[in-house]
Each structure stands twice: as structure tokens, then as C-alpha cells.
């Protein structure tokens, strides 16, 4: 298997069953969604970069395109991308999920703006979603520098290759703290020359939300600082970069003094890839961390485990071209005890929850990481105020899950493709305090069919069906139909 890096995907191993937008110049798509319940079914909205409304029915129109100035990839290039999505329904919206300008020079890229991205070692087409950054939320505006794919280290004669990036971004209009920043960096290594049948991958993805202004600072309290302004100077950036403790605890909020400056999280990833003449296999693991206990694997076996098979030979008739199986567990969380400065590792990691940035690891009402860690407002109404965690009523109400997922894609013929998804989840709430109603189970199913009306004219029609049944999400069955016109 090769590293797939089309314009909107970085640091992700994967492939595709059908052609993607990186091969097009411009497109326009129109369609609509309707379901039996007001809440849009899970697999119609999950991992759609925050562009699918949470409530239906609605109609949508999206258009976008890209232009590359400079045709020689060995020389400097300027790549421009844009996409606009208009939704008309109970809550109409106009979204700009993609708007970026990228400077490229050989294997280096720097960009400013928004892009559709996945981060983490794993499959990109059929995955249930990477742990820390899944493509579930609207992309954050960023300034980013990094490599384009894995770059061989010349002194190793291609035995080792590196893929790295660093970004500075902005959380705009968050709930409790406005105008906070994103710090993001990742480095991955590949062991194995390009022509080898087996490759080994490993790396670290680090994220932090920091700085900003409290919307409602508590007067006379160090919980939020007197004026509500969290430090955001260059010295604080260096502290966030190193994930270090604040040099002066009195200059930061009590949250930053007890933990690290900012809300830190990420994943430690590993993957093995095996290529045969007819297929490609990938086994991958993304191990979560939010503090030093996760870095030292005290929370093992938490994480995402995946196995992907992909057919390498082309087919003109019915064929299954890719299969994915994934298992996600976040049950351990380094135990149930919270003890500050009393032992080497603290427990109750409480994934994606932060008491300073109270929206948690979310942006524009969507979880940034795996969509199976859920906000309270995504559940059935009776669970909006469900108990859990040392602090009640946080935005993230469920982060202890066990999930099994299966995905399949293929074709009935050369002009009719399909995608199947099925997930089963046991939801266990949050660590420390758990509501006696837990565990609550949930099953979600999905089918997508894409028909090529005219390949020469770039006309396609897509139908999607999705079903939710269980105790956690609202039970619903719904569908989507859309028409796509590609201008090559």
C-alpha cells in the first residue's frame, strides 16, 4: 500500500474505490436529505467535515474547485482550493469548508486557510474515523508547513523516510473561551524501501488548544484570571510546544497551573503494510494520550485498531475492492482516580473533556476526533443531563466506548459502485462517576450507491441510506440523493 496524499488528506495511509476530487478542476453538486426523525442519521453526518446539518429535512448545493499554477512538480507551484456548501432547512447555513492557498516546492508544502484533512496512520476511505482528527468537524483555519508525503532520507539510501508537519490555527467563537489557538504537529517515519513488500510506520501526533479570552471571567478568582485573558505570548507558545508546565503558576489559570498550559491530546501511531501482487494489507493502531499517563501507555489497551484489505488488480464486473475492520476502545483511561501531585501518573483521563475549554475537543458543534465520542446534544433527549465525570454537564457526555466497525466498498459494474458501513457501540459514559443507566448500546448502518450517468460529461448520481437503532442516539432511518457535475 502507498501513502495516499491527495489535496485534502495528510498523514494518512489509505486508498480510494472511486475517483476523488483531486483529479477534477471544478464541480457542482445538489441534493437533499430526509429522515424519519429530526436528527440526521449518524452515518449521513459523521466524518463529513461538519457540512451536513444535524437536523433534517434539508436541501443542499455545494460547489468547488482547484487550480494549480505551475505545471512542473520539480519547480515551485501555487495551488488554490475552494468549496462552498449552502444548506436550506430548519437551520440554514452557508459554509466554507475549503479555502486555501498552498505553496509547493518538490516535497515541501506551506499553506494558509482551510483544508479537508485526516491525521493519523490508517485507512482514509472506509475508516470509522481517526482518533484525534477524523474529518468529523468543520476544518479549522490554519497556517501549516510540512512535507508532501513521505520524503526519503538520502543518507539511508531510501531505507527511512519521514513525513512531518506543524500548524498554527484558530478556534473561532468557541463556547467558554473565544479566539483560542490550535497548536498541531506530527512526525512519522517509514521503514522500508519503496519497492519492498513490507513497510513499517510509526509516529506521534500532538494537538493543543491554548490562549483565548474567557467569555464570562469569574471576578476575584484564579479560575479564569481577573480579566479572563489567557496568556498567548511567544513564551506561552514555547510552553505549549513542549507540553510543559507553566513557569509561573500565578500567571495562568488554575486549570493551566494544575495541568499543562492548554488542552493537550494526540495519538501515538503504528502501522504495518504488506503488498502482494493482487492485494494490499494494512494493520494500524492509534494510541490516545491526554497527559503523561497516556504517553507512557498507562491507559493501554485504549485506542483504535484497524485491519484493511485492498484489491490491487482492476475489475470490470462485480468485485469487492476493499474491506475494513476496526475496533475502538476508550474504557481504561488510566484508571478512575484523580490525584494531583501525589503519584507519577494521574488517572481518569476523561478524553476530549476540558474544564477550561468547556466545549471540549469540538468545533462548530462537532467532535474533532472520532465521532463515537459524543456530545450530550447528539443523544436521545432523556440523556441530555445524564450523570458522568467529576464535573457534570460538560459538552462531551460520553467518552468511554467499545466499538466494532465493518466497512466494504466495491462495484456492481464499471459504472455502479457501492459502499457499506456498519457499527455497533457500547457507550459507558465518563470515568469517575457513571450514570446507572450505562451501558447504552447503538447500531448504525449505511449504504451508498454511485451511478455514472456519463463519464465523458462528468455526470454522477448518488444515493445514500442510513439507519440508527439503539438506546443512545435517536432512532432514525433516512436517505440522501444528489447529482454531481464535474468540469474537468
Mean pLDDT (whole number) for 208-230: 79
What is d(CA 4, CA 377) in angstroms, rounded to the nearest whole number?
A: 35
Q: If pLDDT is split at 50, 70 and 90, which confidence band does 89 have?
A: very high
**Are the beta carbons of 52 and 45 closer than 8 angstroms?**
yes
Which pLDDT belongs to residue 217? 74
Task: Say which residues have a Cβ less than 8 Å from residue 199's Cβ, sequence separation at least 6.
Answer: 1, 190, 191, 192, 272, 273
* More confident call, 209 vs 344: 209
What is d(CA 240, CA 194) in angstroms, rounded to the nearest whole number?
A: 36
**Are the beta carbons of 148 and 107 closer than 8 angstroms?**
yes
Which pLDDT belongs to residue 20? 39
56-60, 133-137, 219-223, 333-337: segment of lowest average pLDDT? 219-223
Which pLDDT belongs to residue 21? 38
Distance of CA 195 to the CA centre of its chain: 30
Beta strands in 133-291 (DSSP E): 142-147, 151-152, 160-171, 177-178, 180-191, 198-210, 212-214, 229-230, 263-275, 279-289
**Are the beta carbons of 13 and 4 closer than 8 angstroms?**
yes
134-138, 191-195, 236-240, 245-249: segment of lowest average pLDDT? 245-249
Distances (CA, A) of 101 to 15, 110, 349, 406: 25, 9, 37, 36
Torsion region of 336: left, alpha or beta (phi above 0 gives left; psi -120 to 50 gives alpha): alpha
Q: If pLDDT is split at 50, 70 and 90, which confidence band does 339 have?
A: low
What is d(CA 281, CA 284) in angstroms, rounded to the nearest whole number?
A: 10
54-58, 67-71, 100-104: segment of lowest average pLDDT? 67-71
4-8, 193-197, 266-270, 352-356: segment of lowest average pLDDT? 4-8
Judged against a pLDDT cut of 90, whether residue 229 lies above it is answered with: no
Task: Say which residues have a Cβ less than 8 Å from residue 151's Cβ, sequence separation at least 6.
Answer: 107, 161, 162, 163
Question: pLDDT tens-digit profile of 428-471?
Answer: 999 877 788 899 999 999 999 999 999 888 999 999 999 999 99
Mean pLDDT (whole number) for 251-277: 91
Name the pairing type of β-strands 142-147 and 108-114: antiparallel
Task: Say which residues have a Cβ less than 8 Å from residue 483's Cβ, sequence separation at least 6.
Answer: 29, 30, 31, 459, 460, 461, 462
Judged against a pLDDT cut of 70, whether residue 288 lies above it is answered with: yes
Mean pLDDT (whole number) for 109-121: 97
* More confident call, 338 vs 22: 338
Q: If pLDDT is split at 50, 70 and 90, which confidence band does 348 have?
A: confident
Q: If pLDDT is split at 50, 70 and 90, which confidence band does 245 have?
A: confident
Mean pLDDT (whole number) for 150-179: 92
Judged against a pLDDT cut of 50, whether residue 10 lies above it is answered with: no
Mean pLDDT (whole number) for 277-283: 96
Which pLDDT belongs to residue 436? 80
Question: How many CB atoms lie under 10 A from the CB of residue 377?
Answer: 13
Average pLDDT, the chain: 90
On the 0-12 / 13-18 / 19+ scale of CB atoms within 10 A, 385 is exposed
Which pLDDT belongs to residue 390? 62
Q: If pLDDT is split at 50, 70 and 90, which confidence band does 344 have?
A: low
Sorted by where each begins, the domain ranges of the chain are: 118-211+262-449+466-476
Question: How many CB atoms lie under 10 A from the CB of residue 71?
Answer: 7
Q: If pLDDT is split at 50, 70 and 90, which confidence band does 393 have?
A: low
7-16, 432-441, 478-487: segment of lowest average pLDDT? 7-16
Task: Say which residues have a Cβ less than 8 Å from residue 307's Cβ, sequence separation at least 6.
Answer: 281, 282, 283, 324, 325, 326
Residues facing 423 on adjacent strands: 405, 444
On the 0-12 / 13-18 / 19+ scale of CB atoms within 10 A, 92 is exposed
Out of 2.60.40.10, 3.40.190.10, 2.40.160.130, 1.10.3470.10, which CATH number does the structure's domain 118-211+262-449+466-476 have? 2.40.160.130
Which pLDDT belongs to residue 345? 57
Query: Scanning the structure block, which residue is given the C-alpha cell 475552494?
Result: 82
| Lookup: cell for 242 | 513542549
**Are the beta carbons of 44 and 33 closer than 8 angstroms?**
yes
Question: pLDDT tens-digit profile of 292-317?
Answer: 899 999 999 999 999 999 999 888 89
What is d(CA 357, CA 391) in angstroms, rounded to the nearest whole number?
A: 13
Closest by alpha carbon to 473, among 38, 138, 126? 38
Mean pLDDT (whole number) for 200-214: 96
Which pLDDT belongs to residue 29? 98
Torsion region of 173: left, alpha or beta (phi above 0 gives left; psi -120 to 50 gives alpha): left
What is d(CA 390, CA 50) in angstroms, rounded to the nearest whole number?
A: 29
Buried b or exposed e, range 363-374, using 16+ CB within 10 angstroms:
bbebbbbbbbbb
Q: If pLDDT is split at 50, 70 and 90, which confidence band does 12 have?
A: very low
* More confident call, 388 vs 64: 64
Amino acid at each position: 500500500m502507498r501513502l495516499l496524499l491527495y489535496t485534502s488528506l495528510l498523514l494518512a495511509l489509505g486508498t480510494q474505490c472511486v475517483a476523488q476530487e483531486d483529479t477534477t478542476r471544478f464541480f457542482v453538486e445538489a441534493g437533499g436529505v430526509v429522515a424519519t426523525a429530526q436528527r440526521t442519521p449518524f452515518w449521513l453526518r459523521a466524518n463529513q467535515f461538519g457540512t451536513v446539518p444535524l437536523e433534517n429535512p434539508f436541501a443542499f448545493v455545494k460547489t468547488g474547485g482547484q487550480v494549480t499554477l505551475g505545471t512542473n512538480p520539480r519547480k515551485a507551484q501555487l495551488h488554490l482550493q475552494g468549496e462552498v456548501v449552502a444548506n436550506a432547512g430548519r437551520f440554514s447555513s452557508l459554509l466554507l469548508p475549503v479555502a486555501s492557498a498552498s505553496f509547493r516546492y518538490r516535497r515541501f508544502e506551506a499553506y494558509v486557510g482551510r483544508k479537508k484533512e485526516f491525521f493519523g496512520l490508517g485507512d482514509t476511505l472506509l475508516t470509522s474515523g481517526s482518533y484525534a482528527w477524523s474529518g468529523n468537524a468543520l476544518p479549522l483555519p490554519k497556517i501549516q508547513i510540512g512535507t508532501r508525503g513521505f520524503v526519503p532520507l538520502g543518507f539511508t539510501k531510501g531505507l527511512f523516510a519521514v513525513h512531518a508537519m506543524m500548524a498554527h490555527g484558530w478556534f473561532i467563537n468557541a463556547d467558554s473561551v473565544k479566539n483560542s489557538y490550535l497548536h498541531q504537529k506530527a512526525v512519522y517515519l517509514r521503514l522500508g524501501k519503496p519497492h519492498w513488500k513490507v513497510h513499517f510506520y510509526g509516529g506521534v501526533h500532538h494537538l493543543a488548544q491554548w490562549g483565548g479570552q474567557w467569555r464570562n471571567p469569574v471576578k476575584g478568582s484564579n479560575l479564569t484570571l481577573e480579566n479572563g485573558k489567557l496568556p498567548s505570548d511567544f513564551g506561552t507558545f514555547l510552553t505549549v510546544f513542549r507540553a510543559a508546565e507553566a513557569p509561573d503558576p500565578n500567571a495562568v489559570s488554575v486549570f493551566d497551573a494544575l495541568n499543562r498550559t492548554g488542552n493537550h491530546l494526540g495519538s501515538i501511531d503504528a502501522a504495518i503494510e504488506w503488498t502482494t501482487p493482487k492485494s494490499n494489507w494494512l494493520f494500524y493502531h492509534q494510541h490516545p494520550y491526554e497527559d503523561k499517563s497516556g504517553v507512557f501507555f498507562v491507559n493501554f489497551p485504549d485506542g483504535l485498531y484497524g485491519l484493511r484489505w485492498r484489491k490491487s488488480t482492476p475489475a470490470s464486473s462485480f468485485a469487492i475492492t476493499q474491506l475494513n475492520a476496526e475496533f475502538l476502545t476508550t474504557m481504561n483511561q488510566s484508571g478512575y482516580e484523580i490525584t494531583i501531585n501525589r503519584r507519577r501518573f494521574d488517572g481518569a483521563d476523561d478524553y476530549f473533556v476540558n474544564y477550561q475549554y468547556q466545549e471540549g475537543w469540538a468545533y462548530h458543534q462537532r467532535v474533532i476526533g472520532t465521532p463515537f465520542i459524543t456530545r450530550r446534544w447528539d443523544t436521545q433527549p432523556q440523556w441530555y443531563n445524564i450523570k458522568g465525570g467529576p464535573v457534570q454537564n460538560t459538552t462531551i457526555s460520553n467518552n468511554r466506548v467499545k466499538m466494532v466497525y465493518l466497512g466494504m466498498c466495491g462495484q456492481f459494474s464499471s459504472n455502479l459502485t457501492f459502499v457499506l458501513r456498519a457499527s455497533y457501540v457500547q457507550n459507558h459514559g465518563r470515568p469517575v462517576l457513571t450514570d446507572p443507566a450505562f451501558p447504552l448500546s447503538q447500531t448504525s448502518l449505511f449504504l451508498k450507491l454511485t451511478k455514472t450517468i456519463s463519464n465523458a460529461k462528468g455526470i454522477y448520481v448518488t444515493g445514500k441510506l442510513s439507519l440508527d437503532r439503539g438506546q443512545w442516539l435517536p432512532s432514525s432511518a433516512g436517505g440522501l440523493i444528489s447529482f454531481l457535475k464535474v468540469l474537468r
